[in-house]
Structures are given as structure tokens and as C-alpha cells.
Structure 1
Amino acid sequence: MSSLRAKIQDVFNEPACEQNRRKDAKARKEGCSKPLTPGAAAGGCAFDGAKIVLQPITDVAHLIHAPLACEGNSWDNRGAASSGPTLWRTSFTTDLTELDVVLGQGERKLFKAIREIKEAYGPPAIFVYPTCVTALIGDDIEAVCKRAAEKFGLPVVPVNAPGFVGSKNLGNKLAGEALLEHVIGTVEPDDAGLYDINILGEFNLSGEFWLVKPLLDRLGIRVRACIPGDARYLDIASAHRARAAMMVCSTALINLARKMEQRWEIPFFEGSFYGITDTSEALRQISQLLVKKGADPEILGRTEALIEEEEAIAWKKLTAYRPRLEGKRVLLNTGGVKSWSVVHALMEIGIEIVGTSVKKSTVEDKERVKQLLKDDNHMFEQMAPRELYAMLSEHKADIMLSGGRTQFIALKAKTPWLDINQERQHPYAGYDGMVELVRQIDLAIYNPIWCQVREPAPWDCQPAVREGLPRTKSETATLHAVQEFAGTTAGDLSEC
């Protein structure tokens, strides 16, 4: 546990984090996130964060050394996609019981599980995750993993991030530390080139990185490792030979990018593939970094030619949507890099942003939002469900973009909603992804269901009476039925 404490303190003292540098020494030791309450349910725990970052490594066996429920609560918690191996979709756990805890059989059971996975599946590596229970009883997973690696002849990587040590974001960074300590730099590639890059913090949600990779391929740029989206173990192990890196989500893996720059001189920048302008700027910065590291400067010209061609195609496709969406108001209830990248993407086609959440956003993210929106009145750290509902029911927004947790607030307010978080079904990255995002917003706003659900319910309406004529038996029966159902009288019913 002493080594774990050292890692946590090292993560808390992250010099690449602008927010962290502004703190005094005491505040820095407390970390970036609100501490967890002992004994309370913590869905966003450190274990969950580590699993989120590492599970998209598709050919690795992910073994949870814990009671069954820990793996059940974390399996497949992101919509990442794989172009090949499916081993990451198989759930492995030691299924620790009370008897195992009492008799001290945890380490023996873990070693046996590693052996069974090796014999049955033969993966290139096994990642082992302890959770609160196994950490509290003192199972030494690092010793077990080291012994198993020697015995079975394959890497067995301990991911020491039990849930109680902190938040999900801390777990993200501890996962990066595990890669640095046990994976990256362990394999020397025989095909390293001047146009190799790493993409860090990209999860390939709904396969959206596959919309970006063809652009890089056309420029002759090879993605040595995308961490973690659609990754392979050997690619990550040789990631130290990349010439440059792009950081997509600094909230999660800024420590990984900084330490790779220190150890292997891999420069990085933070960018976004959401929106036309941001995608173009990301391609430019990648090319510029490669030139600084020795690539032929002619790639800069080819990059500009590609950008000009792709932007023209994208804007032509968006022409049909601009008059329908220009001036529409969007409430963005998400966070992190999407707090500014999606904002910028939507503003490009004339959509108005009435509010954006900056929860889980870095200081740099917040500054970008201020620059885009010209003030911070449209920024909020967290909005209570009651406030979200009030804002939507008062028609201050035409659509809300958020995660699945708040979709029912929008539906209750009879407001269009679109999933923008990890559970989404459509890819939104790159030029084609931007067109798809706009198309989905247009479909949501102009869906005819909203006109229907906003109409008064039948029992709130008085049946129309033919002018100057008495009600027919049918009209009278209908009115009585409505009155009986609504528990009201004819005098209480208003004309609709």
C-alpha cells in the first residue's frame, strides 16, 4: 500500500495541470476531486475509472480480483468499439467469497485464475484489478502478478486502483501510471518511422475514431497507439517510439502524456476532433509537431490540401441544415473536453448555446468556453434536476444534449433530447461525424412526436359543440365519460 500512496501523491502533484499548479502545498495533497465517504456507494470510484481507461484494450484479458458484484457493476460501461479482438468483452473475476476472505485464500485464487485464463485464451497480457475488498484484506497482487508472469511467460499487469482510494478521475490517472510502469516501453518495434503518433484519451466511442483515422492515413501518418480506443497490447507496449502525441481528454490521462514527453521526448498538444474547425486544427498541429521532430515539411502542404477538400465537402452537406437549425437553442449538460469542443462545433452552424456544464472540465477547458461564449454566464458546474426541468419546461432551450442519466428530465419537460455521452449510438468525430451530429439534432428537434405530446390531454378538453345545435347523444356520452374519468364537472372543462 505504500507504493500506492506514493503513486496517488504523485498524481495529485501533477505539474502539467494548470489548476493543480495554482494550489498551495496543502490543497495539492488533497487532490482534485471530492473525497469519497467511507461506506457510501461510490459508482464513480477509482476502480471504475481505471477499468474505463484500460478495458478498451481489446486483446487483453481483464481480471477483477474481487467479489462478483464489482465486475458486474463495471462491465461494458462504455460504448467503445473494436475492429478485431473481442476478448475484452469477456468478463473475468476471481469471484471472492466470504470463506475466501476468512481463510486467506485470495492470492491463491488469483494465481489459479491467471493460469486458467492463460491456458484457455492465451492472451498477450492479463490486467489484474484489485477492489476495495481485496485491498483491505491485504492481498499482494503485485507479488502474485510478478510470480505469475515468470511462471506463465506472459505480462501480468497489476492495476492498483481500489475503489476507496478516490474518485473515478483518480482511477483514470492510476491506470495511466500502470501503463507507464508495466507496459509502455517493454517492446521495441522494428518499423518505427518519422510519421508515427499516439492518440491519448480517445475511447473510440461508437467507433468514431474510425472516422478520423482515414484522414491520418491519407497524410501518411500512422497511429502507433490509440490509448485506449481499439488498442492492442503490443501497440501500447511500443508506443514510446512515436514521434508526437495528441491528447484528446487531458482530464483522464494528462499524467501519461507528460511523463511520456519527459522519458521519451514525445511532444504533445491537447486538441479535439469534434467540429470542422477543431478537426482541421488538430490535423495541422499533428503535422507541425511531426515536422519539428524530423518529418519532411511537405506534409504541411498536403495537410492544408486535405483540410480544404474535406471542409468543402462537409460544409456542402451542412448547407441543407443551416436554415433549419440556425438560431436554435441548445443546453449542453455534459463536461470535460465536450464542454468546449461540442460548443464550438455547434456554434459553427449558427446554433445558440444557452448553457454548458463544465463539470469535470479543466481550467483550460473553462477558459476555452469563456472565449467561445464571450462570458461565463452560460457556464455551470452542476445543475440540479429541478433547475434543469424548470429551464426546459419554460422553453429556454429547443433541445438538450446530455448523457442518459438526465434524458428523462428532458422527456418529462416534453423537450427533444440527444445523447452526447459515452452511451451514444452514433459517432460524432471528424468531418463526417460533425455532419452526423447536426443530422441527429435536426431529426430530434423536428420529430413530429413533440407536437403531439405537447397537445392537451383529452380529459383536459371539452368536446367541440356544433354551433347553434344541441349535443348529440354521442357528444353527451363522450362529455360524461371525460368528466367521470377526470373527476371534474362540465364547468371545470375548458375549450381546447
Structure 2
Amino acid sequence: MSSLRAKIQDVFNEPACEQNRGKDAKARKEGCSKPLTPGAAAGGCAFDGAKIVLQPITDVAHLIHAPLACEGNSWDNRGAASSGPTLWRTSFTTDLTELDVVMGQGERKLFKAIREIKEAYGPPAIFVYPTCVTALIGDDIEAVCKRAAEKFGLPVVPVNAPGFVGSKNLGNKLAGEALLDHVIGTVEPDDAGPYDINILGEFNLSGEFWLVKPLLDRLGIRVRACIPGDARYLDIASAHRARAAMMVCSTALINLARKMEQRWDIPFFEGSFYGVTDTSEALRQISQLLVKKGADPEMLGRTEALIAEEEAIAWKKLAAYRPRLEGKRVLLNTGGVKSWSVVHALMEIGIEIVGTSLKKSTVEDRERVKQMLKDDNHIFEQMAARELYAMLSEHKADIMLSGGRTQFIALKAKTPWLDINQERQHPYAGYDGMVELVRQIDLAIHNPIWSQVREPAPWDCQPAMKDELPRTKSETATVQAFKKFAGTMADDLGEC
């Protein structure tokens, strides 16, 4: 536990974080995450955050050393996609019981589970995750992993991020520390070249990185490792031989990028593949870093030619949507890198941003948003469900872009909604991804269902009644009595 405390303290004192540098010594020790309240939902624990970062490594077996309830359904992990192996989607757990805890059988059961996975699946590596229970009873995960690695001849990586140590974001960073301590730098590639890069903090949600990789391939740039999206263990183990790196989500893995620069002289920058302009800028910065590290300077010219070609195609496709979307108002309830990258992307085609959230955003993210919107009234840290509903029901936005947890607020307000977070079904990165995002917004806003659901219900209005056949006196009296009754009801309910 002492080593874990030291690791957490090291993560809290992050020199690459400008917000952290501006704190005094006492505030720096408290870290960037909000303290957890016992018994309250905290949006995920450290274990959850570590597993989110590492599980998309697709050919690795992920073993949870814990009671069964600590492992959820891993078959659909945040929408990350794989181009090959599916082992990462299989749940492995030691399934500790009360008897195992009381009798001290945890470490023995863990060793047995590692052996069974090795024999049944033969993965290139096994990642072991302790949770609150196994950390509290004192199971020595690192000793068991070291012994198993020697016995079975494969890497067994301890990921020390039990849930009680902090928030999900802290778990993200502890996962990066596990890669630094046990994986990166353990394999020397025989094909290292001057055009190798790493992409950090890219999860390949809905396969969207596959829209960007062909652009890099056309420039002759090889992605040595994409961490963690669609990654392979050996690629990450040899990631220390890349020449440059791009950081996509700094709130998750800024510590990994900084320490790789310190240890292996791999310069990095933070960029975005959302939107036409940001995608072009990311390609430029990658090329410039590679040229500084020894790549042929003619690469800069090829990059500009590619950008000009792709931008022309993208803007031509987007021009068809501009008349239908220009002036439309969007409420963006997300966070992190999307708080500014998606804002920029939408503003490029004339969409008005009436609000964007800044939760999980860094200081740099916040500054970018302020420069783009130039109005602090459109920026909020976090908006309560009641406030979101009021804003949408008053028709202050034409559509809301958010995660799945707030979709029902939009539906209750009879407002179009589009998933922009990890559960999304469509890729939005790169030039083609930007076109797809705009297409989905257009489909959502102009879907005819919204005009129908906003109409009064049939029982809220009383249509006029017409006599079609001659009636007897008694029938006429009955009809007149019913008309009188219906008219009274219509007055009470309101006319349509």
C-alpha cells in the first residue's frame, strides 16, 4: 500500500498540468478530482477508470481479482472497436467469496486463475486488477503477478487502482503508470523508423480512428501505438521507439505523455480530430514534430497538399447542409476535449452554440472554449437536469448533443437529441467524421416525428360533429345533449 500511496501522490503532482502548477503545496496534494462521498454516486471509481483505459488493448486478458459483483458486462466496453482480437471483451474474474476472504485464499486463487487463462487462451499478456476488497485484505498482487510471470513465461501486469483510492480520472492516470512501469519499453522493435508516432488517449469509439488512420498512411506516417484504442500488447511494449506523439485526451493520460517525453525524448502536443480545421491542424503538427526529429522536410509539403485536397472534398459535402442548419442552436452537454473540439467543428458550418459544459475539462480546454464563444454566459460547469429541461422546453435550443444519461431530458422536452459521448453509434473523427456528424444533426433536427409529438393529443381537442343521416326526435335530442356535454368538456380542456 505504501508504493500505491507514493504512486497516487506522484500522479497528483503533475508538472505538465498548468492548473496543478498554479496551486500551493497543500492544494496540490489534494489532487484535481473532487473528493468522494461515501455512499454517493461519484461517476465511477479508480478501478473503473483504470479498466476503461486498458481494456481496449484487444489481445490482452483482463483479470479482475475481486468478488463477482466488481466485474460488469465487458462485452460492450464504451463502444471501443477492434479490428481483430476479441479476447478483451471476455470477462475474467477470480470470483472471491466470503470463505476465500476469511481463509486467506485470495492470492492462491489469483495464481490459479492466471494459470487457467494461460492454458486456455494463450494471450500475449494478462492484466490483473485488484479492487476494494482485495486491496483491503492485503493481497500482494505484485508478488503474485511477478511469480506467475516467471512460472508461465508471459507478462502478468498488476494494475494497482482499487476503487477506494479516488475517482475515475485518477484511475485513468494510474493505468498509464502501470503501462510505464511494466509494459512500455519492454520490447525492442526491429522496424523503428523516422515516421513512427504514438496516439495517446484515443479510444477508437465506434471505430472513428479508422477514419483518421488512412490520412496518416497516405503521408507515410506509421502509428506505432494507439493507446488504448484497437491496441495490441506488443505495439504498446515497443511504443518507446516512436518519434512523436499526439495527446487526444489530456485529462486521462497527460502523465503518460510527459513521462514518455522525459524517458525517451518523445515530444507531444494536444490536438483534436473533430472538425475540418482541427483535423488539418493536427496533421500539420504531427508532420512538424516528425521533421524536427529528423524526418524529410518535404513531408510538410505533402501534408499541405493532402489537407487542401481533403478540405475541398469535406467543404463541398458540408455545403449541402449549410442552408438547412445555419443559425440552428445547439446545446452541448458533454466535457473534456469535446467541450471545445466539437464546438469549433459546429461553428465552422454556421451552427450557433447556446451552451457547452466544462466538466472533466482542463484549464487549456476552458481557455479554448472562452476564446471561441467569447461569452461566459454560454459556458457552464454542470447543469442540473431541471435546468436542462427548462432550457429545452422553452425552445432555447434546436437540438441537444450529450451522453445517454441525459437523453430522456431532451425527449421529455420534445427536443431532438444526438449522442456525442462514448455510446455513440457513428464515428465523428476526421474529415469524413465531420460530415457524418453534420448529417446526423440534420437528420435529428428535421425528423418529422418532432412536429407530430408537439401537436396536441387527439383527446385534447373536440372536433365538430356532423349529422349524416336523418334522426328521430329522440335521437336528435340525444345528439344535442351529447354536443352540449362535449362543448362543456372542450371549454374545460381548451380548443385546438
Question: What TM bracket, shorter-length normalisation?
Answer: over 0.9
| Cα deviation, residue 61, structure 1 | 0.1
Partner of 1:358: 358
Q: 1:21 to 1:102 in 2, by over 3 A?
A: same
Give the TM-score of the pair, scaled to structure 2.
Answer: 0.96
Contact 2:276 2:431 (C-alpha < 8 Å) held by counterparts: yes
Q: Structure 1 CA distance, aligned partners of 2:226 and 2:74?
A: 22
Work out whether residues 332 and 357 of structure 2, in 8 Å CA contact, stay in contact via their aligned partners in 1: yes
Give how far 1:458 is off. Answer: 1.3
* Secondary structure, aligned partner of 2:361: coil
8 Å Cα contact 2:461/2:494 also seen in 1: yes
Report SS of the residue matched to 1:198.
strand
Indicate how the Cα distance of structure 1 residues 479 and 168 shifts in structure 2: closer, same or farther if over 3 A, else same. Answer: farther
Of 378-387 and 475-484, the range deviating more from structure 2 = 475-484
**TM-score scaled by structure 1?**
0.96
Relative distance call for 1:482 and 1:31 in structure 2 (3 A) is farther
Query: 1:376 offset after TM fit, Å?
Result: 1.7
1:447-470 deviations in whole A, cap 9, x for unaligned? 000000000111211213569999
Separation in structure 2 between the aligned mates of residue 18 and residue 305 of structure 1, nearest angstrom:
35
Following TM superposition, by how much is the alpha carbon of 1:481 offset from its aligned partner in structure 2, in angstroms?
14
- Residue pairs, 1:51-70, within 5 angstroms: 51-70=51-70
| d(CA) in 2 for partners of 1:473, 1:285 | 89
Cα deviation, residue 491, structure 1: 2.8
Deviations 1:312-363 (A, max 9, x none): 0001111110000000000000000000000000000000000000000000
1:225–1:471 distance in 2 versus 1, CA, 3 Å: farther
Q: Is the contact between residue 74 and residue 89 of structure 2 (CA under 8 Å) also seen in structure 1?
A: no
Shift of residue 36 of structure 1? 1.3
Partners of 1:38 and 1:164 within 8 A in 2: no
Q: 1:148 to 1:327 in 2, by over 3 A?
A: same
Q: Which moved more, 1:33-42 or 1:200-209?
A: 33-42
**Alpha-carbon distance in 2 for matches of 1:233, 1:485:** 76
Deviation at residue 41 of structure 1 after TM alignment:
4.8
Q: Deviations over 1:421-449 (max 9, x none)?
A: 00000000000000000000000000000
Residues 485/198 of structure 1: CA separation in 2 closer, same or farther (3 Å cut): farther
Contact between 1:459 and 1:483, CA under 8 Å: does it hold in 2? Answer: no
Post-superposition CA distance 1:294-314 (Å, at most 9, x none) = 000000000000000000000
Flag as ranges the 4+ runs of structure 1 deviating above 4 A: 39-43, 465-488
Q: Higher mean Cα deviation, 423-432 or 367-376?
A: 367-376
8 Å CA contact 2:461, 2:490 repeated in 1? no
Residue by residue over 1:378-409, the C-alpha shift from the partner in whole angstroms, topping out at 9 and shown as x without a partner, is 11110000000000000000000000000000
Query: Do the aligned partners of 2:74 and 2:91 also contact (CA within 8 Å) in 1?
Result: no
Q: CA deviation at 1:77?
A: 3.4
Q: Give the conservation status (yes or no) of the 8 Å contact 1:459–1:486.
A: no
Equivalents in 2 of 1:288, 1:460: separation in Å? Answer: 64
SS in 2 for 1:377: helix
2:439 is aligned to 439
Q: How far does residue 72 in structure 1 lie from its aligned partner after superposition?
A: 1.6
Distance 1:450 1:358 in 2: 29
Q: Give the alignment's Cα RMSD to 1 decimal.
A: 2.8
Moved more, 92-101 or 469-478: 469-478
Question: Deviations 1:65-92 (Å, cap 9, x if unpaired)?
Answer: 0011111266633100000111001110
Change (3 A) 1:492 1:41: closer
| CA deviation map 1:46-66 (0-9, x unaligned) | 000000000000000000000
Indicate the larger mover: 455-464 or 315-324.
455-464
Structure 1 contact 463–475 (Cα < 8 Å) conserved:
no
Q: Is the 8 A contact 1:274 1:428 kept in 2?
A: yes
5+ residue gaps, structure 1, are none
Cα distance, 1:374 vs. partner?
1.1
Cα offsets for 1:249-307 (capped at 9, x unmatched): 00000000000000000000000000000000000000000000000000000000000
2:56–2:229 Cα contact (<8 Å) kept: yes
Distance in 2 (CA, whole Å) between partners of 1:481 and 1:103 is: 82
Quick check: 2:358–2:366 contact (8 Å CA) kept in 1? yes
1:408 alignment partner, SS class = helix
SS of residue in 1 equivalent to 2:425: coil
Counterparts in 2 of 1:485 and 1:199: CA distance versus 1, 3 Å: farther
1:23 counterpart residue number: 23
Aligned 8 A contact 2:209 2:429 in 1: yes
Unaligned runs of 5+ residues in structure 2 are none
10-19 or 369-378: bigger deviation: 369-378
CA distance 1:228–1:463, change in 2 (3 Å)? same
